[in-house]
């Protein structure tokens, strides 16, 4: 009887740990299929530190860029991700990759819409997944780009707001 109790506790612990850390595909967060994501917003006609906010989720960590450079469309954002946020903040944003619209991978254009053309800002999103490494600049004005990306833009803005709470 004593061994059944210990065995039951061991199985319960294994089940809870397994369910909270990995899915059925073996993706246990960042580090397997998705090695990292970089996301943020940018505003050109703006003053102050909040005009460019870029973050990186890598492994089990959330980092903030210290350069605060306006991203361009010719190359990946050259961030310096030196500021590490708490594990609690990581837990609040780690699900962002689950909202990524896979159809974005089929886009041939890096720029979707007219990001920040009228002072409404833009979104930067980068993904490194296996040998695939891509980035996009997304419009924040919903009517300027395919509607299938609007929820993703909203989620990115939501995660940035959560980080700064």
Provide the domain limits for residue 8: 1-29
Residue closest to 40 by CA, chosen among 147, 126, 134: 126
Mark whether 138 and 150 lie in a shared domain: yes
pTM above 0.95, yes or no: no
Q: pLDDT tens per residue, the chain (165 residues)?
A: 544 444 344 343 333 333 333 444 334 444 555 699 999 999 988 877 889 999 999 989 999 999 999 999 999 999 999 889 999 999 999 999 999 999 999 999 999 999 999 889 999 999 999 999 999 999 999 999 999 999 999 999 999 999 988
Mark whether 25 and 36 lie in a shared domain: no
**C-alpha distances in Å from residue 2, one per residue of 10, 13, 16, 136:** 13, 17, 21, 58
Mark whether 17 and 52 lie in a shared domain: no
Mark whether 22 and 44 lie in a shared domain: no
Residue closest to 39 by CA, chosen among 122, 165, 123, 134: 123
Mark whether 75 and 86 lie in a shared domain: yes
CATH of the domain at 57: 3.30.1560
Count of structural domains within the chain: 2
Mark whether 135 and 158 lie in a shared domain: yes
The sign of the CA dihedral 153, 159, 163, 165 is positive
Mark whether 18 and 78 lie in a shared domain: no
């Amino acid at each position: 009887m004593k061994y059944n109790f210990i065995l039951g506790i061991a199985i319960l612990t294994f089940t809870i740990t397994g369910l909270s850390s990995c899915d059925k595909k073996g993706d246990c967060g960042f580090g397997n299929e998705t090695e990292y994501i970089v996301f943020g917003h940018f505003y050109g006609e703006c003053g102050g530190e909040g005009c460019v906010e870029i973050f990186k989720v890598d492994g089990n960590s959330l980092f903030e860029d210290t350069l605060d450079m306006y991203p361009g469309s010719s190359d990946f954002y050259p961030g310096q991700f030196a500021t590490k946020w708490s594990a609690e903040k990581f837990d609040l944003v780690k699900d962002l990759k689950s909202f990524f619209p896979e159809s974005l991978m089929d886009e041939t254009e890096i720029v979707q819409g007219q990001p920040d053309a009228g002072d409404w800002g833009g979104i930067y999103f980068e993904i490194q997944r296996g040998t695939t490494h891509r980035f996009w600049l997304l419009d924040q004005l919903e009517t300027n780009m395919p509607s299938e990306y609007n929820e993703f833009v909203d989620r990115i803005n939501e995660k940035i707001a959560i980080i700064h709470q």
